Amino acid sequence: MKLKTLDVIAAVLLVIGGLNWGLVSVAHFDLVAAIFGMRFGETSTLSSIVYALVGLAALYQAASFKAIQQRWGHESVPARAR
C-alpha cells in the first residue's frame, strides 16, 4: 500500500472519529454504535475494531506528521522573517 493511500485512510478515520465525538458531545448520539445496530454506549467486536482503527490512525498521524507534509509537498509554516 502506498504511503499516500495510508495517509488518506488515516485522515478519513480521524474525520469519522471526530464527527462521532462531536455527535456524542452535542446530541448524545454514538454514530458508530448506531451503524452496528446498538444503542449509545454499547460496544461490539466490530465497533471496538472501528474505535481501535481511529486510535491507530491518530497515532500514525501524530508520529508521522512531518513525513506526511513532505510526501504531500507541504512544508512547515516558515518562521517569520526578522
pLDDT above 70 (res 57)? yes
Please give the Cα distance from 47 to 53 (Å, whole number).
10
Where are the domains positioned within the chain? Answer: 3-71
Q: Quick check: 81 pLDDT over 60? A: no
Task: Give the residue with greater pLDDT, 36 vs 63.
Answer: 36
Q: Each residue of 4-56: pLDDT tens digit?
A: 888 889 999 999 999 999 999 999 999 999 999 999 989 999 999 999 999 99
Distance, in Å, from the CA atom of 82 to the CA atom of 54, rounded to the nearest integer, reads: 41
Average pLDDT, integer, range 69-76: 70
